[in-house]
A and B are shown apart, each in its own frame.
Chain A
Amino acid sequence: MKFGKRLKRQIEETLPEWRDKFLDYKELKKLIRLISSASPSQMAEAEFIYLLNAEINKFNAFFMEQEEDFIIRQKELQERIQSVVATLGPTSIRPLDADYREEMRKIRKDIVNFHGEMVLLENYSNINYTGLVKILKKYDKRTGALLRLPFIKTVLQQPFFTTDLVSKLVKECERTMELVFPITEEGERREEEKERTTVVAEQSIFRNTVAALVTMKEMRRGSSTYSPLSLPPLNLPDSDLFQLHSPVPIV
């Protein structure tokens, strides 16, 4: 399947507020087509670059907005956990077991969703980057120019691609998760897990995540332009988990 189609599918599956924030791959391809290699059509080329820059600005703005939200939410989550443990937890003055458990459940859910959103933002960043690389490759091919390398060099430094902070937040989230989740044994739980997932799982985020993984795998499977400088095929153990994705019956 072509990248454009995959991107479109991914966008369809994504969180609704994000839909128009992705790369307008189709439009850029159209512009490239307008660039005829015979006559130097400066307008189309200029438009292309203009749109490219506009897209990058869009990514940056959206990404930083989300990042800011994540920072705030992370802090809030930490404080919430602390207060719940302090007031209702076993070590507090008046431990209220039921309430405590209730609150902890809520917190767990929030943490997982928070984690999910952050990872999806990373995915957003990555997929747009991939799209940019591809579209620039097409452009170079079409015009014979060497726009790709220098352009990508600047892209690599854009805020939307420098996801270190989000990555850090994700890892912190994972650590917090371990503290907050009760310890249970693996094994028999697995079967039940899979069933329950379809019933209880957070709809858009989980679904999105699975879709993202599947997309990533498919995109890297190999194509006619596969070269030593392409990404290798994606190998995911336990990939049967992601088969849930196609008709996930969500409550």
Chain B
Amino acid sequence: MEARPALSIRRSDPKQLSNLGASGAMSSSMPILPISLQEKYPKMPDSQQVSIERELRTVSMAQHVNPSVSNSAVVGHLFSSASGFSSDLHFSSASTLERHAKHTPFISQSSNSGASLPLTHSSHTGLFQSVTSSSFAKENSEWCSDTLQGILDLPDNVPLQNSQMQSGGGVASEDCARQSDWQEWVDPLINDDDNLATDWSDLLVDANVADLEPKNTYQASQQLSNFSLHQSQQKIPAHSGEVCPVASPLSSGSSAPTKPRMRWTPELHECFVEAVTQLGGSERATPKGVLKLMKVEGLTIYHVKSHLQKYRTARYRPDSSEGTSERKTTPLEDMSSLDLKTGIEITEALRLQMEVQKRLHEQLEIQRNLQLRIEEQGRYLQMMFEQQCKSGGMDKPKAPSTPDDPSAQSSELIQSPSKAKASEKDKAETENDATHVKRIEESSQQLGCKQKKPETETSDNLKPTTEGGSLSPSAKRARTHDADASSAKSTSN
């Protein structure tokens, strides 16, 4: 079977780990982790819980050393969110509310620079104390999820690779590698309970290194989610053809936990079809038989069952599988078979429909790419603001002049919003969107040279605003004030 060799090849390539390959990645489990952990952790033996809690405490304390504002904001915020989950799941108690009260001041203050750190620390220790006093299982689930989320959020420097990988489409291979690593990690975790504690601390300590290498973080977060998801008897989501069950504990929390979602690919489907034909066709083949024949790791009988069902429906009535709207047009088909001219007209109509669809597809692709780039820029700006806060603001002029393309673009984007807007308006009307961002970059770069001077002013400008509310929105607002004015004018036209 093709799956096997592919898997073994990937196994040996550690380089692929460093790509936080986008699609269906393990961090897709991030938003849904808390619930899964909540569901599953109470079932864990006490010894594990104790060790985990201990490890988490040490790790969470260690995390505070990390001066990055966004990180603590994220972590802190997620604390409250995780606590919120527990309360949602009928775990409400007075202590939970207490902790909420402690959380929120933290959140609103965490968006300020620097000064929040001591506060962070004290509120955290406060939280820690309340942990011991409250119910055991609940705490553990929350803490685990909190730390997990905090850690999964850490790799900020990776996202640039992310989007590149996404558009690169070289996902499958990375996911295979990741998976195989998960396998390697899962087995020792299952077998040796004592290892759990040590694994935790190793993983979490790794993740806490500031300015992590993407690889470390990635492995750490992989293994973390692996660990947690394994507890819930689910595998990490991946996009590859081999084994792609996707954890969706939130939904599965309400129903049976044995329904992990599978992400099928054409290759996997090929494998499936081969197995089915070997067994004598879709009617004859049984899920068990197909599962055996396919020999794909991680594939469960539920996956095969549901897929087989779909397959049967598709084969049996290929027309009806195209959607309900099909039925409405069957009378037209009779017409067309009689009248040749009508047939040609129908073809032309279909062609037109196809054109429109193609257009939508194009635009969606472009829009998606733009959205990705916007997020990249946003993250980069965020980073720069943080760095600026840390360094005290006067180093700013250096940053944009670095040879990095993205940095030049983003800083110039901030500096010249009104000019960029103007060129946007002029050019976007007459040009393809694909070249839109390029244009902005070009015009920004032209203007960038002239704008070195204003940069020092803006860095002063930034400082006072950071005390106020959240960093980037207010700074952006200051920047885009001109842009808004000009846009208001143009939209009113």
Contact = CB atoms under 8 A, between A and B. Distances in A.
Interface string A80-104: 1000000000000000001001100
Given A163-B368, A227-B483, A228-B480, A196 B349 contact: yes
Contacts of B153: 150, 153-154
Contacts of A102: 337
A55 to B, nearest CB: 9
Contacts of B34: 53
Contact of B430 (A50, A235, A241): A235
B375 A212 contact: no
B428 A232 contact: yes
Interface residues of A, number: 122
Contacts of A157: 20, 22-25, 27-28, 162
Contacts of A122: 361, 364-365
B429 interface: yes
Contacts of A165: 23, 239, 265-266
Interface stretch (B118-126, B177-185, B199-207, B310-318): B310-318
Given A150-B70, A164-B171, A182 B31 contact: no
Contacts of A43: 84, 87, 100
B210 interface: no
Interface stretch (A2-10, A21-29, A139-147): A139-147
B477 to A, nearest CB: 9
Given A110-B318, A122-B361, A203-B325, A231 B367 contact: yes
Interface centre among B28, B318, B350, B424 (most CB of A within 10 A): B350
B28 A200 contact: no
A171 to B, nearest CB: 8
Interface string B268-297: 011001000000000000000000000000
A227 B480 contact: yes
Given A42-B101, A68-B310, A105-B343, A209 B262 contact: no
Contacts of A115: 354, 357
B379 A153 contact: yes
B429 to A, nearest CB: 6
Nearest to B69: A146
Interface string B343-354: 111111111111
A114 B20 CA distance: 32
Nearest to A212: B360
Nearest to B70: A146
Nearest to B365: A167
A116 B97 CA distance: 50
A107 B36 CA distance: 45
Interface string B393-425: 000000000000000000001100100110011
Interface residues of B, number: 138
A202 B343 CA distance: 15
A189 B364 contact: no
Contact of A119 (B27, B326, B360, B371): B360
B73 A213 contact: no
Interface stretch (B50-58, B190-198, B243-251, B458-466): B243-251
Interface string B40-84: 000000000000000000000000000000100110010011011
B318 A76 contact: yes
B347 A67 contact: no
A247 interface: no
Task: Among B85, B307, B368, B484, find the residue whose CB has the most chain A CB atoms closer than 10 A.
Answer: B368
Interface stretch (B5-13, B103-111, B447-455): B103-111
Contacts of B189: none
Nearest to A76: B314
A207 B462 CA distance: 48
B337 A189 contact: no
Contacts of B361: 119, 122, 167, 170
Contacts of B88: 46-47, 50
Interface of A: 15-17, 40-43, 45-47, 49-50, 52-54, 56-58, 60-61, 64, 67-69, 71-77, 80, 98, 101-102, 105-106, 108-110, 112-117, 119, 122-123, 126, 129-130, 133, 140-141, 143-147, 149-154, 156-159, 162-165, 167-170, 174, 177, 181-182, 184, 189, 192-194, 196-197, 199-206, 209-210, 212-213, 216, 220-236, 241-242, 251
7 contacts: A57-B248, A105-B347, A122-B364, A133-B371, A209-B353, A225-B484, A227-B476
Closest 10 CB pairs of A and B: A46-B84, A40-B104, A162-B23, A42-B100, A53-B31, A157-B25, A49-B81, A200-B349, A232-B436, A154-B30
Given A157-B22, A193-B349, A206-B356, 15 more contacts: A40-B100, A61-B248, A67-B263, A71-B269, A110-B319, A143-B108, A154-B31, A157-B27, A174-B358, A205-B353, A209-B356, A222-B491, A227-B417, A227-B484, A228-B414
